[in-house]
Structure 1
């Protein structure tokens, strides 16, 4: 039996590139796997830089690795309040993602030996799309697009906060020379960089 995963990266070029590279690795490792990457419209500031890359991906679509580009289609207005915030941007495209996935389900239902959609692989900033996966009765998996050092830093700062050892404001360490020893990092981390 063949399986299909639906990857949905956050609409930023670094998140898209990380997701595409992971999808390529998985498809190369498993012959029974196909992947569709749903590409959401980019926030206005990064759209121009991403266009050639997205166009190249669309042209490179194959039977095993497909790219579904969701366009704004002119249905979004610039007068929406906070339309450029990350949460609102993702929320605004939930109906578009739902339609794209329904189209996949419909397409595969007509093919003999079609792959079974096995789940959504969601960017860490696209957790509101878990509800869409639930509607299609498939599991969701989170994909962390940053490197292991950033993950270690995030876990350590959360650990400090949870244990009431982190009572600072951003301005407290702007010029500080204090460094944090973080499990997983080989060098101490300058505290003044936490506000960057």
Structure 2
């Protein structure tokens, strides 16, 4: 029996690594002939990777998923530049080449190098796959609608000479084939609106077209229109295999974030009564905004669980950390006054929280992983996007799919650009009340229905199950 070895190259960042490892698990669980080596490029400030990969060493899939941690690159590039990720990945290409050469040399007659599976931001490594004479597949950890937007904007620039960066100052709307509704320019990802970043970003879309296929972390019933649009946008074969979720374990636990008593506190709350506020691995707010959020929560009287993180120092991009004492940024006496109905924590065990019956609503940054988790557990969202493609996800959830309400769809807080305005307490309070009033209502039922569809997609005979089968078949058919 011929065994196929796949090389997975995730982009740095837990939001890219976790779903890609989830994809690797799906593959090795489905077919005993497949094994995966994950090559990990390490940022200087990304401290969670080791604990995450170590936690996987005890799982059943460990025998056929191997992690190779590449030497840590001391990248001198200014991290706030729009091209940081591109430069960082290119600086790691020689290390990736060396690692793959070792794997290829050690492969015997029964184990063959079958191809590369590359993160959406690692497309420059298609050239390496060509050097090794194997096909490349792209793993796209975000939505099919976002993939369609990338392909469309790239063709606008290449075929119609449109300067996409000019959309930054546009107040109008764009017709993008992967969206049913006109897309406001103000919800385009920050990277699209920066002149120095748009070139490398669209180059990824250009290169994706040359891949043997694109694996997308979505499912047919969530994004039927977007998935259907991709063939007309010139995408290669697309495999919607999601939702890929890290359901069997959180990355870490922190004693100072409340630890196990988070779940104990939730156990004491009524079903569907708690609003959960959590904004992803890089999500944080300035002190003025934190105070407005606190005021809104207190006035609403709604039971709440709030994951509050300390922002990175000005001018630096680091993963937000927990406050030693959150009282330093909260209104005086807030913790005492809300002790009877609210809980402020640091890092949150997000999957465990979303799966708890006490959670009735989720104020979310709308990262795609968080979005899929929320849908899986049937929790309605209020979208408050901060960075990356979250504004686009917010638009899709609120306008395209009708699965969420919004706090402020065009809000931004990332190292590329930032919203100047503070969302005031009255506005936040109104959204929280609306979100929690809807428990049991039409939107709530719609989210519950989509939750059922997300689960059915993965079972034998479901659309994502069958799509993964097609992908495995193509891996062996395309293997040199």
TM-score, normalised to structure 1's length? 0.76
Contact 1:7 1:122 in 2 (8 A): yes
Per the TM alignment, residue 140 of structure 1 is displaced from its structure 2 partner at its CA by 2.2
Secondary structure of the residue that 2:188 maps to in structure 1?
helix
Contact 1:58 1:68 in 2 (8 A): no
Number of residue pairs matched?
183
Write the distance in 2 (CA, Å) between the matches of 1:40 and 1:59.
22
Matched, 1:169 2:166: yes
Matched, 1:52 2:39: no
Gaps of 5+ in 1: none
Q: Choose the corresponding residue for 2:142, options 143, 146, 150.
A: 146
| Structure 1 match to 2:152 | 156
Secondary structure of the residue that 1:185 maps to in structure 2?
coil
Q: 1:132/1:58 Cα in 2 relative to 1: closer, same or farther (>3 Å)?
A: farther
Which structure is higher in RCO with an 8 Å CA cutoff and minimum separation 6?
1
| Structure 2 match to 1:191 | 185
Gaps of 5+ in 2: 191-480
Contact 2:168 2:185 in 1 (8 A): no
Q: 1:24/1:156 Cα in 2 relative to 1: closer, same or farther (>3 Å)?
A: same
Contact 1:157 1:166 in 2 (8 A): no
State the 4+ residue runs in structure 1 displaced beyond 4 angstroms: 58-61, 164-168
Q: 1:67/1:2 Cα in 2 relative to 1: closer, same or farther (>3 Å)?
A: same
Per the TM alignment, residue 100 of structure 1 is displaced from its structure 2 partner at its CA by 1.8
Per the TM alignment, residue 94 of structure 1 is displaced from its structure 2 partner at its CA by 2.1
TM-score, normalised to structure 2's length? 0.34
Q: Encode CA deviations 1:81-117: one digit per residue, 9 max, x unaligned.
A: x2752232122222221222223233333xxx64211
Matched, 1:127 2:127: no
Write the distance in 2 (CA, Å) between the matches of 1:97 and 1:142.
16
Write the distance in 2 (CA, Å) between the matches of 1:165 and 1:95.
35
| Structure 1 match to 2:345 | none
Q: 1:90/1:166 Cα in 2 relative to 1: closer, same or farther (>3 Å)?
A: closer
| Structure 1 match to 2:70 | 70
Q: Choose the corresponding residue for 2:112, options 92, 103, 116.
A: 116
- The structure having more radius of gyration, on CA atoms, is 2
Q: 1:48/1:155 Cα in 2 relative to 1: closer, same or farther (>3 Å)?
A: same
| Structure 1 match to 2:92 | 93
